[in-house]
Amino acid sequence: MTIGNEIINNLTTKLILEAGKASTEEDIRVGFENSFKTYVPQTGIEYDANYEKRVKSGRVDALFRHLVVEYKEPHLFESPGEYNKAANQALKYIKALASENLEDDSDYIAMFTDGFVIGFTRFTCDGDKVISTPRPINEESVHTLVEYMHALNFKALSANNILADFGPNSPVTRRAVNALWEAFANKKDRRSSMFFLEWQRFSGRFQASEKILGLKCRLSPKLNVSELISEPSILSSYSFFTVITLF
């Protein structure tokens, strides 16, 4: 992966600027998160962190996929004890998230910062803690952070994530249903038509729907799949077949 030096330089400058005018932990959080939203997409990924994520051991300030981000008040890490305390807090969050998503602790990495000093911590595959030495916010440490964002840009295989990405309200599902509908409705493929007739034979409850109710399928690209399922009056046997085939 190649990340442009100009983007890293601009992001680093912006982070330093935000830290310089911050007086609270919230100032650091808002300034840094807005900077990430501006510059990280320029490196090729969409930055869409989950904020105040609740876990058993507390709340994570920001969670981007498998990157835990914790913010502290400005200059807090001038005390070595506070730096180590923040690292261990982040490790607890990692354990809680891994347990919740049935993943390995080593799938996560945490970044914690007071705006001027940045640190990284994680678990190895053997379960050992790894805590980096305190590092200043500079081009090298910011480059490392963005590399972690890229490397950890994958979602947990959880029910909520699957439902969000592929459930009735998902744009992906809507596009898939409409693509199937176009293919089946046009009947350009002989095998798909035969597949439909075979399904219709085994699903007698739908066979007479169009004749008895005089229905015409009004499925359109604007129709939400959840609306489609909840309003059977708009469905023909063909559109039922489309939805059932997808799911």
Over residues 45-66, the pLDDT tens digits come to 999 999 999 998 899 999 999 9
User: What's the pLDDT score for residue 236?
Assistant: 54
Angle between helix 171-186 and helix 159-166 axes, rounded to 10 deg: 50
User: What's the pLDDT score for residue 223?
Assistant: 44
pLDDT band at 235 (very low <50, low <70, confident <90, very high): very low
Q: Which residues contact 113 (CB under 8 A, 6 or more apart)?
A: 28, 32, 70, 71, 72, 77, 119, 137
Q: Is the confidence at residue 188, as pLDDT, over 50?
A: yes
Average pLDDT over residues 172-196: 69
Domains and CATH numbers, the chain: 5-155 (3.90.1570), 164-246 (no CATH)
Average pLDDT over residues 160-181: 67
pLDDT band at 194 (very low <50, low <70, confident <90, very high): confident
User: What's the pLDDT score for residue 131?
Assistant: 97
pLDDT band at 198 (very low <50, low <70, confident <90, very high): confident
Q: Is the confidence at residue 159, as pLDDT, over 90?
A: no
Beta strands in 76-234 (DSSP E): 109-113, 117-123, 129-131, 135-136
pLDDT band at 233 (very low <50, low <70, confident <90, very high): very low
Q: Is the confidence at residue 247, as pLDDT, over 80?
A: no
Token digits of residue 218: 């009004």
Token digits of residue 93: 């969050």
Query: How would you classify the pairing of strands 58-64 and 67-71?
Result: antiparallel
Average pLDDT over residues 176-205: 67
Least confident of 15-29, 42-56, 122-136, 223-237: 223-237
> Between these two residues, 54 and 240, which has the higher pLDDT value?
54
User: What's the pLDDT score for residue 238?
Assistant: 57
Angle between helix 171-186 and helix 190-202 axes, rounded to 10 deg: 100
Q: Is the confidence at residue 191, as pLDDT, over 90?
A: no
